[in-house]
Amino acid sequence: MANIRLTDTAVRHVKDYLARHEGGVGLRLGVKTTGCSGFAYTVDYAESVEETDEVIEQDGIKLLISRKSLPFLEGTEVDFIREGLNHRFDFRNPNVKDTCGCGESFTV
């Protein structure tokens, strides 16, 4: 089982979102190849579980992670941050070796 978790703040946000949007089954996390450092995080609300998903349940929420993204996310804590009118998921990933200057991509 992968070691990826949401903070209490992220759990509350995801639960609130799923309660307002019918058909959602959980939060899909992943990485994609992009940017100047190599990888970027992907976050989406999932309407179904795919065959390639690893499912982690936490506090009644399903985290869906593609198996190919698991090695990049192992040990990651995901928070939800509000700063004024802005809000975002924040990844605290112990596997990151470097980030690009804009902070949008990372290297492992």
* Cα–Cα distance measured from residue 12 to residue 54, given in angstroms and rounded to the nearest whole number: 22
Average pLDDT score over the chain: 87
What Rg value do the Cα atoms of the chain yield, rounded?
Answer: 14
Q: Which domains does the chain have, with CATH numbers?
A: 5-107 (2.60.300.12)
Residue predicted with more confidence, 24 or 10? 10
Q: In this predicted structure, what is the pLDDT of residue 95?
A: 72
Q: In this predicted structure, what is the pLDDT of residue 33?
A: 84
- 43-62 per-position pLDDT tens digit: 999 999 999 999 999 999 99
What is the arithmetic mean of pLDDT over 29-37? 79
Residue predicted with more confidence, 10 or 22? 10
Tell me if residue 2 falls in helix, strand or coil: coil
Beta strand spans in 20-104 (E) = 26-34, 38-46, 53-58, 61-66, 77-83, 86-92, 98-99
